[in-house]
């Protein structure tokens, strides 16, 4: 969960954190992310989301808690 453990990378002549590099790739659309988010839950359904995470079904890639509603 989260980004507590990430490293540093050499990329295009600069040293950058893996997390920041991933953000750049997403922003610049260098990789297709279709299907990366496999499950969405409303914030109030966080217990269901955590249960799913703990059950770890084979189709689970990433869970998002949607705070927009």
Position 40 scores a pLDDT of 94
For residue 5, the model assigns a pLDDT of 65
Predicted structure pTM score: 0.57
DSSP states of 11-34 as a string?
Answer: ETTEEEEHHHHHHHHHHTT-S--T
Each residue of 10-50: pLDDT tens digit?
A: 999 999 999 899 889 989 988 887 888 999 999 999 999 99
Q: State phi, psi for 29 to the nearest 5 degrees.
A: 55, 45
Assess whether pLDDT exceeds 60 at residue 3.
Answer: no
CA atoms within 13 A on the CB side of 27: 6
């Amino acid at each position: 969960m989260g980004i507590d453990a990430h490293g540093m990378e050499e990329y295009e002549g600069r040293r950058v954190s893996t997390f920041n590099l991933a953000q750049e790739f997403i922003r610049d659309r260098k990789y297709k992310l279709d299907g990366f988010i496999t499950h969405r839950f409303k914030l109030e359904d966080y217990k269901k989301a955590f249960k799913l995470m703990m059950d770890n079904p084979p189709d689970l890639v990433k869970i998002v808690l949607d705070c927009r509603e």
